[in-house]
Amino acid sequence: MKSLASYIFLFLHSWLQPQAEVKLYPQNYFKPPLDIPLLLAGNFGEPRTGHFHAGLDIQTRQVEGLPVYAAADGYVSRINVSSVGYGNALYVTHPNGYVTVYGHLKEFTPALMKRLRKEQYAKKSFAVDIELKPDEFPLKQGEQIAYSGSTGSSGGPHLHFEIRDAAENPINPLLFGFKLADGARPLVSDLKFYPLDSLKYNCDGYRCRLSGKNGQFEVPGGVIKLNSASVGVALNTYDLMDKSENRLGVYSLKMYKDGQLLYAYKMDKISFKDSRYVLSQIDYPIFVNEDEQMFHRCYVEPGNKCPVYTNLVNRAIIDLSDGGVHEIKIEAGDFFGNISNVQFKVQYDAKSTLLKDNNTPHLKRFDYSRPNEFWDKDIRLSLPTDCLFDTVYFNYSEALSTNADVYSREHLLSNANTCFFDWFGISIKAERLPERLRDKAVVVFKDAKGNEFSRGGTFDGGFISTKAREFGLCYIKVDTVPPVILPVNIYAGKNMRKNRAILFKITDELSGIKTFNTYLDGEWVETDYDAKSSTLIHYLDSNMKPGEHRFKVVAEDERHNTSEYVVKFGM
């Protein structure tokens, strides 16, 4: 029977953590997966491109090949290999129901590599996802399972480490008692104010710098007077750890108005289905365009349903309609209790010009809470419910293209900074598109930097139809150019006896690489693919017979254009 003190503790724990995080996570059950000091390159819940980070990125001294160990007893339950995402990844299921994940691995231990190769050759595919039974690869805590690397979408050598519950929801690994040295407070630098009345559809907001030190910051100059009676605020903040120069995400945020808590945010747990809400949690256009500055919104947009917020009062919108001066306090905290405080005063003033009206005309209003459509003679848009985080005032224009390789009008969908939680349908009318090129046509978007990317598409009744998650400039192009295959370290007749591997680059200018296959002396062979460097790597068997051999690469893009490269070499 639990003691009275135990019940009191559980009650207080539940009250202090209203995100239903009332469960006490096992402490010291999991051990660090590396045998070097635990330093982080990234932490749990950190804003990333299109998602919240689902684990810890553990530094590996900027090298690959460090031994990776099982964090606890269990069994390897899944092997997943991909050219993107986690790259080479292992999943270990533990007796207590948790699953640990190890990503961006260079390679696995020999027994696991043998099992991987068997599956790859059976499916004739580099990318595989293998579910394993409990008795295939049982493990003891501290048993080596792999070597650290930089595969998949990694930006450099490190180990991605996750702890998930039985429903595959990632949990902050620091809740399990991992010890890290951290005496550094989060850094704060700027505030941004957003009008949340009718002005919000025609205003880019107002930024101001903070001043201060030792965890206490303020806005110089006294009261901030804003010409909006209803505002939201975002704080530009990130965290640091001892002995690490990496910018990390803050663990928690709280905002008070005149002493009342309006908003609390904490990163204990995030499901993958909710991860894309990062586009609403931060000012995402700033994040993308300004070196990943993290302006965390300390209010919640109406279409943001992420379950990481508590103590919300009216979505933490600051009401200034009474004309009085109000004191705002924001606390930015890390997991280990280091806090930075930001305090300022704000007041409504109709004569203020800080929030500038752009006076931009709008063609249509898209309500985030219901389906929306826009049809013109040359374009059709269909936005599902909950596609948007907030109501959007939409503008549109079109023009003839001056490019001979564009088979439609050029359509400008505004505002290009609009963020989408879900995909929406888009159909663009094709012009001058020959029937023989219909299956080669794609919808192309051009970003602010002039880069084109394909969203694919299919021909339907004179339109090319597909799905997208962005506004901006879009049009139709055709992809008839096959992928380019370039040898890196091999040429006709070269003796490869002293080479460990054969390397190729495969690229495609528009629709992207869909599949590739490699053959040695007429037989399919496994070849690794690193998408971020567009590199194919086939590791040569040291026991290959002397003499001449033939290597062939076949690559196909998303529009079914195919290239082939054949080279003969010696051993």
Supply 211's token pair.
């001043």
Going from the N-terminus, what domains does the chain have, and what CATH number goes with each? 14-176 (2.70.70.10), 187-348 (no CATH), 364-478 (2.60.220.30), 484-570 (2.60.40.10)
The token duo for 358 is 């752009």
Distant-in-sequence, close-in-space partners of 236: CB < 8 Å, separation ≥ 6:
188, 189, 190, 191, 192, 293, 294, 295, 296
pLDDT band at 176 (very low <50, low <70, confident <90, very high): very high
Give the pLDDT score at 23: 60
Tokens 């207080």 — which residue? 12
**Contact assessment for residue 334 and residue 43, using Cβ atoms and an 8 Å cutoff:** no
What is the pLDDT of the chain when averaged over all its residues?
94
Q: What percent of the chain has pLDDT over 70?
A: 96
Query: Which stretch of DSSP H or E encloses residue 425?
Result: strand 424-429
pLDDT tens for each residue of 489-518: 999 999 999 999 999 999 999 999 999 999
Which pTM was predicted? 0.92
420-429 pLDDT tens trace: 999 999 999 9
Mind listing the pLDDT tens digit for each residue in 161-172?
Answer: 999 999 999 999
How far is Cα of residue 430 from the mean position of the Cα atoms in its chain? 33
Q: What does DSSP assign to residue 96?
A: T
Task: Give bridge partners of residue 207 from the DSSP assignment.
Answer: 192
Question: Which H or E element spans position 286?
Answer: helix 284-289
pLDDT at 52: 98
The full DSSP string for 178-217 is ------PPPEEEEEEEEE-SGGGGG---EEEE-EEETTEE
